Amino acid sequence: MRRPVLLAAAVAFALVGCGKKTAKNKTPDSSPPDAPAGGSGGGNSGGISAAGGVGIVLNPSAALGGGGSGGAVQAVRKAARRASAQNDLKNIGELIEQMRDPVGRMPTKEQILAELKQYPKLLEGVTEGAYILTGTTDGGGLWAYEVDADKTPGLAVIGGRAARTTPEELRPYFAQMPQQPAVPAQPPAQPPAQPPQPNRPDSSATPAAGATVTMKDMDDIRLFIDTASQASGRMPDVQTVYGALVQSGSPAAKLVASRAIILTGAQTRESVWAYEAKAATQGGMIAGPNGVETVTAAELQRRAGQR
């Protein structure tokens, strides 16, 4: 009886020792610890938890499949801009179409801009450079386009219809447009020097062949000399008068340069200020304090102080 009891005690001791050894030598579980309530586990940044709750997304790029939130936001914004541009350019095309006259003539760019003041959103898109008005006169041409559509695929209004285009498709339309004149790098040259002219009528002066002097030409000269002399208190010299005619674009400038009109360089208001060349020999128009008059050659000589 004693031996079986001792054997049973030995077996029980061995079993206890084996159990402790097994627990001591067990490999650590690599599984993460239990997640707190409402979470999905320490190895995840968010998402749906094992308990069925929705966690906070701390890493949007993971939730978007690794594409990154920036790319997604940009894609949404680009789509919104495209939709807006499509609608805006469609409206601009319809507006221009309504402005065309009965024969189909296109409005100018200035006329379109004036009309767009009634549509602030469209005007803002044009003035800020999002949409470009070409000012074309061709009803079937390129009316307007989205900025950079000449470089990358974009939107354009062709013949009144807004559509997606490529730079290659727009190239022929740009080639048909008149080129803007280049801005001169240097300021325009000063008017050519006026050759010295006599203060008094010169009977030997030969009128320019084929030149026609009108009363308006003579009055342009009279008006400037009269205004300048009253403002400054002294008579302007020949160069000053000629320069003013050139600057104002008066046809009289060419007549003075060709000597069809003679500037006397009068020093007093009472004298003759200018005369057409033929007046010295045949009679003609003069300009002076009394306005523009037609006198004989003898009268011109008398008024100029020659006998």
pLDDT at 182: 45
Of the candidates 124, 145, 176, which is a domain's last residue?
A: 176
Question: Is residue 189 a part of any domain in this protein?
Answer: no
Judge if pTM exceeds 0.75.
no
Residue 146 lies in a domain: yes
CA 131, CA 147: separation in Å to the nearest integer? 5
Is residue 102 in a domain? yes
Instruction: Say if 286 falls within a structural domain.
Output: yes
Distance of CA 258 to the CA centre of its chain: 42
In a domain, 181, yes or no: no
User: What's the pLDDT at 192?
Assistant: 45
CA-wise closest residue to 244 among 230, 224, 268: 224
- State the pLDDT at residue 167: 93
Q: Are residues 165 and 238 in the same domain?
A: no
**Is 251 within a domain?**
yes
- Within a domain: residue 38? no
Q: 226: number of CA atoms within 13 Å, CB side? A: 12
Distance between CA atoms of residues 19 and 287, nearest Å: 133
The tens place of each residue's pLDDT in the chain, 307 residues long, gives 445 544 445 544 444 444 444 444 444 444 444 444 444 444 443 333 333 333 333 343 343 344 444 556 555 555 566 678 899 999 999 999 999 988 889 999 899 999 999 999 999 989 888 999 998 988 999 999 999 998 999 999 999 999 999 999 999 998 887 654 444 444 544 544 444 454 444 445 555 556 899 999 999 999 999 988 888 888 999 999 998 999 889 999 999 999 999 999 888 888 899 999 999 899 999 999 999 999 999 999 888 764 3
The structural domain count of the chain equals 2
Instruction: List C-alpha distances in Å: 106 to 102, 140, 178, 190.
Output: 10, 10, 15, 38
Q: Are 81 and 165 in the same domain?
A: yes
Output 275-280 pairs: Cβ under 8 A, ≥24 positions apart.
Answer: 275/201, 275/300, 276/207, 276/213, 276/218, 277/205, 277/206, 277/207, 277/208, 278/207, 279/201, 280/201, 280/202, 280/203, 280/205
Domain that holds residue 282: 215-303
- In this structure, is residue 236 part of a structural domain? yes
